[in-house]
Amino acid sequence: MSEFSRGIDERIDYLKNTLIQIKLENKNPNAIFDYQVYTAEFESMYWEIVTKNLSFEEFLELIFSYLWRKTDDNLKEIRNTINGQIKEEINNKFDELMKNLEQLKFKREYIDENALGDLVNAIIEAKTAIQYELNNVENWFRRSKTSTYSEYDISLPIEIATKVINNIYPNQIFAPATKFSAPGILKGKTLKSFVDIYFTLFDNIIKHCSTTNFSPSVEVEVIINDFIVEINIVNQLPEHTDHNILSEKIKEINDSVVTYKSHERASKEGGTGFYKINKIISVDLDSRRKISVSASDNKFRVQLIIDAWGLLYENTDY
């Protein structure tokens, strides 16, 4: 019996600590969760990005779709492994135990038939029970068709957008300082939109304010007040900035973002700059907003005030 119990424990441990793990380059070679990007997959995605000239939104959608496909494949393999290899190995352990009991009955002169019958019944019940539990475990590895992204901290989209910017512009030093008035949790469905907002703002800073010898300092402040989220981003301007041209541009932006035409322009321009941000907040997030930009003391300032009713996660202790 001790050998049987040890064999069952070993199979369960193998499933939990060897198979249901994430495969890394030099670790967990037998793990089923494999998110490594192989050459053929990388080339296929790269070709799609280049030939279709994907926008950042479309690029994110491509990556998320790829990761979900990988996840579905991993989940399917785990289910197949549980229903196949693991069930078979555990069934074999039960069969070996029953075979040993039969042999024991013939080797001993006296065997309490009633006790043996009770033991056999208990083994059969245990075998049925463990098969039932394996079926339950197998069902854990099914993705709900209505699955949504988990709630997330308000700092996460800033971190994601920063990493993307640093990957796109490896020669720039981009490390925004962040400040939060209070902790806050946003609903998972909003993650992509907020990443897009921060990425667009950060990308504008790099394109319009960075030079070979100048990487502007950037400050991001997020203020949460009831169901209002206020985002303030301040960045340095290069010394050679033409403030007359900048003032005209600021007036154009402030005049445009308050009109419905900004939605049309976002579409025509492929979703760039403040026109794109206006569209993300008002259409994608379906929220009221106020967008304003200004410049003073050789700094450029962006303020977004977003009605976050329906965006903030309410079931929180914050």
Give the pLDDT confidence of 26-59 residue by residue, as tens digits.
788 889 988 888 888 888 888 888 888 888 778 8
Query: Is 312 part of any domain?
Result: no
In this structure, are 10 and 92 located in the same domain?
A: yes
Per-residue confidence band for 76, with pLDDT thresholds at 50, 70 and 90:
very high
Reply yes or no on whether the pLDDT at 299 is more than 80: yes
**What CATH number does residue 279 fall under?**
3.30.565.10
Q: Is 302 helix (H, G, I), strand (E, B) or coil?
A: strand
Q: What would the two tokens of residue 118 be?
A: 């009770």
Residue where a domain stops, chosen among 85, 114, 140: 140
Question: How many residues in the chain?
Answer: 318
What is the tally of helices (H) and strands (E) in the chain? 10, 9
User: What average pLDDT does the segment 214-237 reach?
Assistant: 91
Residue 276's identity, in one-letter code, is K
pLDDT score, position 310 = 85
Contact 169, 199 (CB under 8 A): no
> How high does pLDDT run on average in the chain?
83
Query: Is 313 part of any domain?
Result: no
pLDDT score, position 177 = 96
Residue where a domain stops, chosen among 119, 140, 161: 140
Per-residue confidence band for 221, with pLDDT thresholds at 50, 70 and 90:
very high
In this structure, are 159 and 292 located in the same domain?
A: yes
Per-residue confidence band for 149, with pLDDT thresholds at 50, 70 and 90:
low
Q: What is the pTM of this model?
A: 0.58
Of 208, 211, 170, 192, nearest to 63 by C-alpha is 192
E strand or H helix that includes residue 33:
strand 33-34
pLDDT score, position 110 = 55
Rounded to whole angstroms, how far apart are CA atoms 251 and 293?
8
Per-residue buried b or exposed e for 199-232, using 16+ beta carbons within 10 Å of the residue's own CB: bbbbbbbbebbbeeeebbebebebebeeeebbbe
Q: Look at the chain and report how many structural domains it folds into.
A: 2
pLDDT score, position 262 = 44
Beta bridge partners of 291: 304
Q: Over pLDDT 90: what percentage of the chain?
A: 20
Of 97, 100, 93, nearest to 134 by C-alpha is 93
Beta bridge partners of 119: none
Per the listing, tokens 């209002």 go with: 228
Give the model confidence (pLDDT) of 234-272 as tens digits: 999 988 888 889 898 888 888 877 664 544 554 444 434
User: What average pLDDT does the segment 2-18 reach?
Assistant: 86
Rounded to whole angstroms, how far apart are CA atoms 105 and 112?
9
pLDDT score, position 146 = 53
